[in-house]
Chain A
Amino acid sequence: MAILDVKDIRKRFGSTEVLKGISFSLERGQVLSLIGSSGSGKTTLLRCLNFLETPDTGSVAVNGEVIFDAAEHAALKEAEIRRRRLHFGLVFQSFNLFPQYTALENVTLAGRLLMKEEPDYRTRKKELTAQLEERARALLVRMGLADRMENYPHQLSGGQQQRVAIARAMALQPDILCFDEPTSALDPELTHEVLRVLRSLAEEHTTMIIVTHEMAFARDVSSRVIFMDDGQVVEDGPPEQVLGAPVQERTRRFLESYRQ
């Protein structure tokens, strides 16, 4: 069964239709790169999956459970939306770390707040907190930030901040990890260290959707590439096909602009 099933997502802002019926599905462990020029709707699609935008039509199912259905969404309670959105993690282009918290606190904050909703929170507070911290530390170590845990965001480089953000998104163990142009705000050297982390996550079969302009990286790391243009999926397939031997004329033209 597919881990993710997206059906006929449409989204309009005012009079412009940004997504014109997007459908695709994703298998567990797949790494999907979303490519396309600016304004093609990639970021909007990612934001729809994370409930930062509400699609006008369509549905999203994770592991067979419908987590979004445009027809019933308005009736949902906030608590239910919060629970459902945790199937996804999102890493932003501009990191969006919380400046007043250390790297470690950034990773643990949401978990700490969610913990309070556990029925046995009062009696197990210490134990739960310890588990949470241990997991957060392990994640930061995996991100190569063992000696940066107590630093505040402004004391970290862009690449380090983005790696903290990745750890923060992973802390709640989402089924699917989304990245919105994770390296666009970084210079080439720092880009490299973030891509290295993404590659290692791919090798561990983390299910990921990555909006990216790094074609070499997309070819190398993804198991699947979707090329979007004008709010539609133009081409969908393995990287060798979409990036190596595209069938569609529009894909070819897009890729040529990268070679020049």
Chain B
Amino acid sequence: MNLMLQQFPVVFQALNVGFLQTLKLFLVTGLGAIPLGLVIAFGSMSRFKPLSALTRLVIWVVRGTPLMIQLLIIYYFPGIELHNNWWGGGESGRFLASSIAFIFNYACYFSEIYRGGIQSIPKGQQEAGLVLGMTRGQIFYKVTLLQVIKRIVPPMSNEIITLVKDTALARIIALQEIIWAGQSFMRGSHGISGAIWPLFFTAVYYLLFNGVVTLALGQLEKRLDYFR
């Protein structure tokens, strides 16, 4: 116990650095996957059959295989098989590869939530817009979109909370996120070795951060409570 207290300041600082990388990956994935998911959703709902079939095939593959394997393939394939590491070396290369893998993977999950949300809006809403002379774009942005957002907040909250924890998977390509930082004290780092408690302690970061995320999404849900 005493030893832990002694180690704490050093560990705390290292974990904060790791958590910053976790947070960055989370934000970049969110910012990329939320709009990309919409594009994929439109693709999967397209009336042009080859496009929707292709999109659904991609969604099936991405959702049907482990994100961890996708990370490994995206990071190592160019360098090992094509002898050309597009990602560049070091931490920035690992971050770039992780971001691409996460954005694409999550966009596929989001797209299915969007599709469900869009398809759940009664057809009468669109027809009412049409007979009032609105364009399809106006109907989407002015009528449908907010209703879709309201319906998808709960399932999106689930995915976003999962994303916070899934960022840990980037550890597999040695991205220096918080799990990597916690683990480093086992083999030895900052003059501390053989300590496993820092790894366990990383759970506190995830828990607190997910608390914040839950509160924020709860607020959003409340703000959309004014209509039904």
- Which residues of A are at the interface with B, using a C-beta cutoff of 8 A? 50-52, 78, 82-83, 85-86, 88-90, 92, 94, 96-100, 109-110, 113-114, 152-154, 168-169, 172
Contact = CB atoms under 8 A, between A and B. Distances in A.
B110 to A, nearest CB: 22
B227 A100 contact: yes
B82 interface: no
A215 B132 CA distance: 29
11 contacts: A85-B131, A86-B133, A92-B128, A94-B122, A94-B124, A98-B125, A98-B143, A99-B147, A152-B228, A153-B227, A172-B132
Contact of B138 (A50, A83, A113): A113
B228 A154 contact: yes
Contacts, number: 64
Most A CB within 10 A of own CB, among B129, B132, B226, B227: B132
Contacts of A169: 131-132
Q: Identify whether the interface residues of B are mostly helix, strand, loop, or mixed.
A: helix
A113 B147 contact: no
A92 B127 CA distance: 9
B146 interface: yes
Given A99-B147, A99-B227, A52 B133 contact: no
Interface in B123-147: 124-125, 127-136, 138, 142-143, 146-147
Chain B residues touching A, range? 20 to 34
A110 B134 contact: yes
Report, nearest first, the 3 A-B pairs whose CB atoms are least far apart. Answer: A110-B132, A96-B124, A96-B128
Contact of B146 (A96, A100, A168, A172): A100
Contacts of B131: 50-52, 85, 88-90, 169
Contacts of B132: 109-110, 168-169, 172
Given A82-B134, A96-B122, A113-B133, 16 more contacts: A78-B136, A83-B133, A90-B131, A98-B128, A98-B143, A99-B228, A100-B146, A109-B142, A110-B133, A113-B138, A114-B133, A154-B228, A168-B132, A169-B131, A172-B132, A172-B133
A235 B146 CA distance: 46
A85 B133 contact: yes
Contacts of A172: 132-133
A96 B125 contact: yes
A154 to B, nearest CB: 4
A68 to B, nearest CB: 14
Nearest to A106: B128
Given A82-B135, A86-B133, A152 B227 contact: yes
Contacts of A96: 122, 124-125, 127-128
Given A99-B227, A152-B227, A154-B228, A113 B134 contact: yes
